[in-house]
Structure 1
């Protein structure tokens, strides 16, 4: 008996296959990889309202920063009270520290579906034809080997590292005076978590990571000017 979780996998399979079919005349063996990029862009467009809300939250918090710094100095010897008053101030203004995480959390179901789709040899009782897709000679359904004979894995790693570098630099630049050393270290290192993640997922899911993180960097650069 099919699982309820099979429905989104099957739906994603037909959607990605349809898009790959449209792109095949120009994409050839890369049609499935290009379809993943297109699907990722569509997901990000659907989630654009959440991204806009996250940006508004960040801008509102920047406006509140002088008051936040004032509270921190006033209650330097009582951190709990300082955090409580800062939380109350943010609640009154409608801002939240977690606003910037909304687009990331909202993407998790899509990422799970894509990961599962390219981890299955059979979808809906039929062979998964998407696994025949390649990216510079590497099947997009295989996991990242430690040593690869194709440039696809090395290229993906380099591009993920470049995007992570710009993401980390931008996050560090936007940290305020109240940021702790731990917070600064997390802002510096967390973006590179995509490299670790890519080592344990199919190449197709790694391509999703590259596309969505690149989108995020460009989106924030435009909206937070």
Structure 2
């Protein structure tokens, strides 16, 4: 880890400068040598970096959605050119170019954060070793080494020896407890972030291998970060926990305000939008108007959730317009009522078991009817119907299966 961090040493000076500026601000409030001053400086560094990465996050969302839409086409290309890998790659690149999709865009926020993450790790490692780095001079170094977060020094690690922890002025138990709690919270936030993406913001009408891969990553990533976390200093754990919480909140906002079409989140969003239109008689908010505008523009290509929303508006007497607004329309309400009446008149679809039961009952009724008709015809001819179960006697007895017709040979006395 130290070797990797040294590769990003060129950015340690800007990172250390930003931390020192925030430390000056928080030190005036909480004290220069407190864990609050240094801990909040790291948190503020995360917030500043994530605000700068918002455009990349938006690009990541668009790329992820485009990849979900393209999965059926990608699978068709793989099946068509499965024996020609070169042609398969060419067709994939052509598809990406036509749709303006970049598969690496979903990794951009993580890749952009990596230099800052390793630079911070390099700074904290230097503090743990008692070395000045960047703009952190000896007085700031001494202050940072005295700062503790819930009894754990910023530069302490879960795997430190008792002697190393004692040199930082803390106990091994405090360091192990604090780092273990932070590792669990870091892994849990990573898992919940991925889980809400898979359960709420995925198009449920498209089943692709991409969804299975994301589901596997939902369980693998937290385990990876938990394994790496035991070698992270407390300050880096603060950084990573903060960025995970930020990602979780940012993603929650996007899911609630701009969900993926066809997902469970879209159904919940359009339900809330329908209630808002019912209460106010209009579409309030630019974002909501843009949503209605996109649904209207789709026309017959709308999914079931979007058609349900348009039908709900029509039942309320509203018609969605191309600019995203709604207007009162008696025609829309009449058409919706006529469609509902037509659906009520249609017979309910029977299950397979009900259809089999009905066929059996019809067959039994047919057999009873045939037997009744036979009895009626015999009675009209003056003949009495023969009781069932009694064999006919004499020459009128029918031969059983496997026996010859005509007179039978008498049985041997021993067989009587």
Instruction: Calculate the TM-score normalised by the size of structure 2.
Output: 0.47
Q: Note if 1:53 corresponds to 2:59.
A: yes
Q: Please give the residue correspondences for 1:82-161 in structure 2 after superposition, counting only pairs within 5 Å.
A: 82-120=88-126, 121-123=130-132, 124-127=136-139, 128=141, 129-145=143-159, 148-150=172-174, 151-161=177-187
Match of 2:235 in 1: 204
Alignment RMSD, CA only? 3.1
1:188-218 deviation line (CA, Å, top 9, x unaligned): 3024322222211211011111111222232
- Tell me by how many angstroms 1:130 deviates: 2.0
**Separation (CA, whole Å) in 1 of partners of 2:78 and 2:116:** 39
- Structure 1 residue aligned with 2:193, among 149, 162, 167? 167
**Separation (CA, whole Å) in 2 of partners of 1:222 and 1:69:** 31
Q: Note if 1:35 corresponds to 2:41.
A: yes
Contact 1:40/1:212 (8 A) holds in 2: yes
Higher RCO (C-alpha under 8 Å, 6+ residues apart): 1
Contact 2:78/2:88 (8 A) holds in 1: yes
- Tell me by how many angstroms 1:98 deviates: 1.0
Unaligned segments of structure 2, at least 5 residues: 1-8, 162-171, 260-416
- Tell me by how many angstroms 1:77 deviates: 4.8
Q: Note if 1:179 corresponds to 2:191.
A: no
**Separation (CA, whole Å) in 2 of partners of 1:215 and 1:55:** 15
Unaligned segments of structure 1, at least 5 residues: none
**Separation (CA, whole Å) in 2 of partners of 1:38 and 1:79:** 48
**Separation (CA, whole Å) in 2 of partners of 1:51 and 1:40:** 15
Contact 1:168/1:191 (8 A) holds in 2: no
Q: How many residues align?
A: 222
**Separation (CA, whole Å) in 1 of partners of 2:151 and 2:39:** 12
1:34-74 deviation line (CA, Å, top 9, x unaligned): 22112111110111111111111112223333322332343
Instruction: Calculate the TM-score normalised by the size of structure 1.
Output: 0.81
